[in-house]
Amino acid sequence: MSNNPTFAAGWVGGGDLVGTGPDHQVINPATGGVVATTALATAVDVDTAVTTARAALGEWAGATPAERSAVLAKLAAGMAAASAQLADEEVSQTGKPIRLANEFDVPGCVDNTEFFAGLARNLEGKASAEYSGDHTSSIRREPVGVVGSITPWNYPLQMAVWKVMPALAAGCSVVLKPAELTPLTTLTLARLATEAGLPDGVFNVLTGTGAEVGASIAGHRGVDVVTFTGSTGVGRQVMSQAAVNGTRVQLELGGKAPFLVFDDADLEASIHGAVAGALINSGQDCTAATRAIVARPLYDDFVAGVGELMSKVVVGDPTDPATDMGPLISSPHRDKVSAMVDRARDAGIRVVTGGSVPDGPGAYYPPTLLADVPEDAEVYRDEIFGPVLTVSPFDDDDDGVRRANDTVYGLAASAWTRDLYRAQRASREIHAGCVWINDHIPIISEMPHGGVGASGFGKDMSTYSLDEYLTIKHVMSDITGVPHKPWHRTIFTLPR
Ligand code: NAD
């Protein structure tokens, strides 16, 4: 991308929004340099965007499924054509490796958009029937209305796509606020949507802070559903802001995924799976493997193998295709991760590899393995959101499953075994929105993503996500034509 371009405070009504807030610099976490300048939106701009989205709702909700599908299909093609730009913007604002952006983020978003282009034509309800004998009942699934979405910085484009595409497929209009650290690809996505023929005002983006713009969206009376992805603490604030108006919410929150290795597991596969699952996106992934819980007979070999593989991971310039892992999102976040590891070390936890901030510019932190981690340790219980894996042993299957479930979170988990019954047990007994067997991380547009417990509720992706954006209306039509209905006798008994 060109040097330090300037972006508007949002994309509202099919064009740039001249925001009412101050300028804001988007920083490249790999260098500390300025990537771009955006204006910031404010609460005043939220009013404008919500009014715009409301005005655009009728046309989009009234479009036929085929018309909505055609726009989404064209948007997917536009995103595919703009892949290089989207990947470059994503790398420069997040510091994620270009390989990840090119092979995971951007193609995943194109596929997700294609999926919802198809799904837009499959919004049928149940068949009509005469349940009372005197009426025909039918179900209408209608767009919920104006969607207010708030997204995090770790996968800015994916998190926007996961919220926006089902909303558009359902016939809703959207006002979305990306994280202030990473607004660029979401602004580009909105421009591409307009170029694909989405009517002006159906998809609006506002930059801005969470405290002002995020809170204003969540608490806005003109918003019909709030869909949020981010931390558990902020998600709960969003829920209480929305509660003021009784607004529906969907919350995709934090995670602390267990990685449960039974004693019959393929050791090499589990070692590779743990390193990939822990280090994806520098560990800034809500489903990342964070707590390896390993059967004692495999424990020492697992620790040695993961430590060795982690030390070979290439950390560096995210624009270099040879780089495996880039920096964290920002220096303050890196310092938070580093402080958690320091406290663990001070408490006597064994640091097998990594664990100290390297010299030089950028918000870098090395792949870090902490071993023999007790269950009450902060690093075992709290989300670190960095390239840090803890590992602890277990003695029997009951203990392993109990440890996997010993968390307030419930977003994702994996179990590693060649035993069918153990795999079935783990998939049944682990409390999480997703349980992988002999893998950790893969996602697919057809399948839902979303958690339980402190990881939130509701689903992104898949047909299930449409439920967040549709209301169910029962239509009950009298089929007798009789003026004096038998059931009226329960209310009055006037003569006929
Ligand atoms: P965050 O909660 O700090 O911020 C998320 C968004 O909320 C940002 O846009 C932010 O500006 C906004 N926000 C902040 N304060 C707000 C307020 N008071 N009212 C309304 N909006 C507000 O999260 P983050 O640091 O950007 O992202 C990391 C977190 O996101 C991690 O906890 C991670 O697990 C979680 N996450 C979850 C999923 C999932 O699908 N469950 C996916 C990605 C990330």
The mean pLDDT of the chain is 96
Mutate which of 236, 249, 286 to test ligand 1's pocket (most atoms within 8 Å of Cβ)? 286
- Nearest CA, atom 37, ligand 1: 253
Side-chain half-sphere CA neighbours of 366 within 13 A: 19
pLDDT of amino acid 475: 95
Q: Which ligand 1 atom is nearest residue 209's CA?
A: 11
Q: Domains in the chain and their CATH numbers? A: 6-252+462-475 (3.40.605.10), 257-437 (3.40.309.10)
Task: Write down the residue that tokens 């930059």 correspond to.
Answer: 207
Q: Is 432 in the pocket of ligand 1 (CB under 6 A)?
A: no
Q: Which ligand 1 atom is nearest residue 329's CA?
A: 25
Q: Is 285 in the pocket of ligand 1 (CB under 6 A)?
A: no
Question: Taking 70 as the threshold, does the pLDDT of residue 2 lie above it?
Answer: no
Q: Is 39 in the pocket of ligand 1 (CB under 6 A)?
A: no
- Nearest CA, atom 36, ligand 1: 230
Is there a contact between 143 and 470 (Cβ–Cβ < 8 Å)?
Answer: yes
Q: Is 36 in the pocket of ligand 1 (CB under 6 A)?
A: no
Residues recorded for the chain: 496
Strands 434-437 and 412-416: parallel
Give CA–CA dist 80/109, Å, rounded: 9
Q: Is 151 in the pocket of ligand 1 (CB under 6 A)?
A: yes
Task: Write down the residue that tokens 């220096």 correspond to.
Answer: 331
- Nearest CA, atom 13, ligand 1: 210
Mutate which of 229, 434, 449, 465 to test ligand 1's pocket (most atoms within 8 Å of Cβ)? 229
pLDDT tens digits, residue range 150-206? 999 999 999 999 999 999 999 999 999 999 999 999 999 999 999 999 999 999 999
CB neighbourhood size of 15 (10 A): 14
Q: pLDDT confidence of 114, banded at 50, 70, 90?
A: very high
pLDDT of amino acid 1: 43
pTM score of the predicted model: 0.96
Give CA–CA dist 496/483, Å, rounded: 10
CB neighbourhood size of 159 (10 A): 27
Q: Is 76 in the pocket of ligand 1 (CB under 6 A)?
A: no
Query: Which residues are marked as active site?
Result: 252, 286
pLDDT tens digits, residue range 366-404? 999 999 999 999 999 999 999 999 999 999 999 999 999
Q: Is 109 in the pocket of ligand 1 (CB under 6 A)?
A: no
Q: Is 330 in the pocket of ligand 1 (CB under 6 A)?
A: no
Is there a contact between 7 and 194 (Cβ–Cβ < 8 Å)?
Answer: no
Both tokens of residue 434?
């997703």
Q: For residue 151, how far is its CA from the centre of ligand 1 (angstroms)? A: 6
Q: For residue 214, how far is its CA from the centre of ligand 1 (angstroms)? A: 10
pLDDT tens digits, residue range 219-237? 999 999 999 999 999 999 9
